[in-house]
Amino acid sequence: MLPVQVNRLTVQEAGDRYVELVRAKTVTGALSPATAEVYARDVATFVRLAGPGRVLDDLTGEDVDAVLLAFARKPDERRKNDGQGNRTGKDTAKGAVGGIGGSTGGSAGGSAGQSAASQARFRRSVSALFRHATSAGWVHLDPMAASSVRARERGGLRPERRALTREQAEGLIEAAGSPAAPATAPPVEATGSGVARRRRADQRTEVRDALVVLLLTTLGPRVSELVRANVEDFYTNDGVRYWRIFGKGGRTRDVPLPDAVASALDAYLEVRAGGDGEKALLLSWRGRRLARGDVQAVIDRVQRQVDPGRRRAVTPHGLRHTTATHLLADGTDMDAVRRVLGHSDLSTLGRYRDDLPGELEVAMGSHPLLRRRRGRAGRDDQAAPDA
């Protein structure tokens, strides 16, 4: 039923109200802070591209398509440098601001646009905004129903986000468990002010790095869940160590640690040099909570110790794929894998399940419906000389 009278908010006003509502959901645990900020960022981009002063109810499906195309052509601002080392993205992105009728920013200068995954995420954020606007009486009709712009097919994961093979994963785990011998003097690291400081000698970062790699590779947490972990989130019940993971949407899950991971945790806790009242499990060499960007540096540092024949670049999310892929390939119950990864729906596992080389050949070589037949054939062969 259409609203009797629409509240003719501008795009800016509607965006501000919606973002305020989204951020309020983090208080009740309906949304994680990281998810809320993604929505807020996408809505702010939509406001700039659509034109802040326009009335939201005046936007049509064609207008929304123009915004989606402008976003798709907008350079990815995460790519900070071009081939000459110059910063790219921000200047060209400004051309996409200022309304639909203006320049979209295109891909001038050969700058790459948004990935298919980013385009799909942006469309979901805009759809959520208009769903709320429809129920709140800000628009008569949802223009997304008349929108026809869709992101192209992803065409597969980037190599660094695919699951590691068993040999590659084992190489990474072995390197984490056998860290290089630390230097006699603590290494020098640069601070934000550019002044070099010597790392504190009591920071056994190689032990912390081993724990990071083992947790990511065997349990597959999201990187946000990993850096958010506190010491108190790990507990023992009936002789088994558990990690209470605080996941997306305020959901929690208790995941048992494999023995090797529990041993790595104990080894780290013995040398962890946290200040008084510091709750964070993973600490930087300054004694502060490890940041999301630091996790990739940890993986890269351990990777440098892996034999080149088993080494391959991988992201924290790629290790999440590795966990899911190898658990499922080993015949682990799908619902158990779902609970380890923290998904509410089994269908979501499909995005984390990657192909492993030779897996189909092994499966068909030991087909469950033919095992009895092979056994009978073997017995017949043994009886043949006496026949």
Instruction: Output phi, psi for 189, to 5 deg.
Output: -130, 150
> Is residue 326 annotated as part of the catalytic site, yes or no?
no
81 — pLDDT class (breaks 50, 70, 90)? very low
Active-site residue flag, 317 = yes
Q: What is the residue-wise DSSP string for 82-130? A: -TTS-B-SHHHHHTT-S-TTS---TTGGG-----HHHHHHHHHHHHHHH
Q: Is 140 a catalytic residue?
A: no
Q: Check if 222 is active-site.
A: yes
Backbone angles phi, psi at 307, to 5 degrees: -55, 135
* Torsion on CA atoms 123, 159, 302, 215, rounded to nearest 10: 50
**Tokens describing residue 101:** 């009728």
Phi, psi of 331 (to 5 degrees): 85, 15
Q: Which residue has the higher pLDDT, 73 or 192?
A: 73
Of the residues 248, 289, 292, 339, only one is catalytic, namely 248
User: Active-site residue 198, yes or no?
Assistant: no
Position 374 pLDDT exceeds 70: no
189 three-class SS: strand
Distance, CA of 257 to CA of 86 (rounded, Å): 45
Within 10 angstroms of residue 90's Cβ, the number of other Cβ atoms is 10
In the set 123, 162, 208, 222, the catalytic residue is 222
Locus of tokens 């309906």: 30
Residue, of 362 and 48, whose pLDDT is higher: 48
Return the pLDDT at 200. Answer: 46
In angstroms, the CA 166 to CA 379 distance is: 35
pLDDT at residue 77 in the model:
61
Identify the CA nearest to 166 among candidates 364, 18, 356.
Answer: 356
8 catalytic residue (yes or no): no
Amino acid identity of 5? Answer: Q
Per annotation, catalytic residue among 320, 321, 326, 338:
320
Please give the Cα distance from 127 to 52 (Å, whole number): 18
Q: Return the closest-CA partner of residue 329 out of 313, 349, 312.
A: 349
> What is the rounded CA–CA span in Å between residue 206 and residue 198?
16
Dihedrals phi, psi of 134, to nearest 5 degrees: -65, -45
Sequence-distant (≥ 6) Cβ neighbours of residue 36 within 8 angstroms: 22, 23, 25, 26
Q: What is the pLDDT of residues 349-371, one digit of tens each?
A: 777 666 766 656 666 666 565 66
Adjacent-strand bridge partners of 197: 189
The mean-pLDDT minimum among 15-24, 155-164, 327-336, 356-365 falls in 356-365
> What is the rounded CA–CA span in Å between residue 271 and residue 38?
36
Q: How confident is the model at residue 31 (pLDDT cuts 50, 70, 90)?
A: confident
pLDDT at 193 over 50: no
Catalytic-labelled residue, pool 288, 317, 339, 353: 317
- List the strands of the sheet with 234-237, edge to edge: 234-237, 240-246, 252-256
Amino acid identity, residue 56? Answer: L
- Residues 282-317: pLDDT tens digits? 998 888 899 988 999 999 999 999 999 999 999 999
Say if CB 287 and CB 275 are below 8 A apart.
yes
